[in-house]
Amino acid sequence: MSYKPLYNTIYALSKDNNFSKHEQLVLGVLQAIDENKLKKGDKLPSINEAVAELGFARKTIVKAYEDLKDRGLVESKKLKGYYIASEETQQQLKVALILYAFHTFQEDFYNSFRSTLGPNVQLDVFFHHNNETLFDTILSNIDKKYGMYVIAPTQSTRVAEKLKQIPPEKLLIIDRYINLGPAYSYVTQEFEETTFNMLLKLQDQIKQYKKAVLFFRNDSDYPEGIKCGFSKFVKSQNIPAEIFPSYVEGSIQKDHFYIFISDNNLYQMIKDCLTNGYQIGKDIGIISHNDNIVKEILAGGITTISVDFKKMGVLAGKFVQEKKTLQMTLDSTLLNRNSL
């Protein structure tokens, strides 16, 4: 293949003193694609060939090719070189977003994240459902194919080493904190002390009930810190308590206080309250983790403990745009409504 048309395009750009050598190469490839001088599947000059022809530093060529990879326009094939992967030159960046599942509160995160990124970003979303095998498969499939990675990780002990294979400037950890070292960015929430302190604020209301019940599945994506914070609270206040994996339809008991993580469990109990004629906030008490607009109006308002997922989405979007180190643990808010 002759690279003369590409080189001529780059040489023409070199006449404009406003462009650095890095910009000349990137813009040269973009222009060559737009002018049909390069098409999907075409091979680009090797690093050595480009250095010899253009006289640019090797690191300049490498950085330009990597930037084009981040935009999804170029792909590298082991021992073969760099190839044109897409002709969509208006696409500025490819971003991989890995979440637990598409819960209602994560929809708030996604919408604000997507909006903050702007239109010229390709965003691909993956769900691992706290399944370590699935998480590993996703990471393997997207390895080196995206310019930026925003990941809510599983909580296994092995996940840190896998995530460290992604350069710090390309990775943001969200929702659940995992220690990857001082170079890595995160915007997360804390669960154990938050749950304990929020329940402590509500202790007078909670003590009106005979027993506290938490629904917590150990085989799910539920944060372990919630269970620890709940256990610490009921022990410190000498409150009778139980932990069940899930709410069973019809098992509601009067004069009990319930804490939910699953919205499906919450909605089933509210249905049972209506069936039994129980008044929420009087006959039974309810707290739910993770706020959304439905809980503002459901059953007169459900008390929630939650971070601002819209804010988390905005911060994540700005990290992708600006590529500046971000290390933040968001404060949770207690929204005390009518369910206690």
Q: What is the pLDDT tens value at each position of the chain, 340 positions in all?
A: 688 889 898 988 888 767 889 889 998 999 899 889 999 999 999 999 999 999 999 999 999 998 898 888 899 888 889 999 988 877 678 899 999 887 777 888 999 999 999 877 889 999 998 889 999 999 999 987 888 999 999 877 789 999 999 989 899 999 999 999 999 999 999 999 999 999 999 999 999 999 999 999 988 888 999 999 999 999 999 999 999 999 999 999 999 999 999 999 999 999 999 999 999 999 999 999 999 889 999 999 999 999 999 999 999 999 998 889 999 999 999 999 999 9
CATH of the domain at 60: 1.10.10.10
Together in a domain, 69 and 137: no
Q: Other C-beta atoms within 10 Å of 12: how many?
A: 12
Together in a domain, 289 and 316: no
DSSP structure class, residue 265 = H
* Residue 261 structural domain: 192-306
64 located within any domain: yes
Together in a domain, 199 and 176: no
**9, 53 contact by CB (below 8 A):** no
The predicted structure's pLDDT at residue 253: 96
Together in a domain, 130 and 231: no
- Could you tell me the two tokens for 53? 């022809």
| 105/128 Cα distance (integer angstroms) | 17
Together in a domain, 19 and 74: yes
Together in a domain, 288 and 197: yes
Together in a domain, 139 and 182: yes
Distances from the Cα of 260 to the Cαs of 129, 222, 227, 266, in angstroms?
18, 11, 11, 6
CATH of the domain at 316: 3.40.50.2300
Together in a domain, 233 and 290: yes
Count of structural domains, the chain:
3
| 136/165 Cα distance (integer angstroms) | 12
The predicted structure's pLDDT at residue 119: 79
Query: Residue 268 corresponds to which amino acid?
Result: Q
% of the chain beyond a pLDDT of 90: 71
Together in a domain, 210 and 156: no
Q: What is the dihedral of CA 96, 99, 103, 107, to 10 degrees?
A: -30
Query: Residue 293 corresponds to which amino acid?
Result: I
243 located within any domain: yes
Residue that terminates a domain, selected from 66, 84, 102: 84
340 located within any domain: no
The predicted structure's pLDDT at residue 147: 84
Distances from the Cα of 289 to the Cαs of 117, 223, 245, in angstroms?
27, 11, 15
* Neighbour-count burial for 224-253, b at 16+ CB within 10 Å, e otherwise: ebbbebbbbbbeeeebebeeeeebeeeebe
336 located within any domain: no
338 located within any domain: no
DSSP structure class, residue 237 = T
13 located within any domain: yes
| 301/54 Cα distance (integer angstroms) | 66
pTM of the model: 0.77
Q: What is the mean pLDDT of the chain?
A: 92
The predicted structure's pLDDT at residue 71: 82
Together in a domain, 100 and 119: yes
The predicted structure's pLDDT at residue 1: 66
The predicted structure's pLDDT at residue 104: 75
| 49/45 Cα distance (integer angstroms) | 6
**212, 206 contact by CB (below 8 A):** yes
Residue that terminates a domain, selected from 51, 84, 117: 84
The per-residue pLDDT for range 229-267, each reduced to its tens digit, is 999 999 999 999 999 999 999 999 999 999 999 999 999
339 located within any domain: no
Residue that terminates a domain, selected from 57, 84, 111: 84
The predicted structure's pLDDT at residue 276: 96
The per-residue pLDDT for range 262-309, each reduced to its tens digit, is 999 999 999 999 999 999 999 999 999 999 889 999 999 999 999 999
Together in a domain, 183 and 269: no
**285, 205 contact by CB (below 8 A):** yes
122 located within any domain: yes
Together in a domain, 215 and 300: yes
Long-range contacts of 115-118 (CB under 8 A, 24+ apart): 115/313, 115/317, 116/313, 116/314, 116/316, 116/317, 116/318, 116/321, 117/317, 117/320, 117/321, 118/321
| 196/131 Cα distance (integer angstroms) | 28
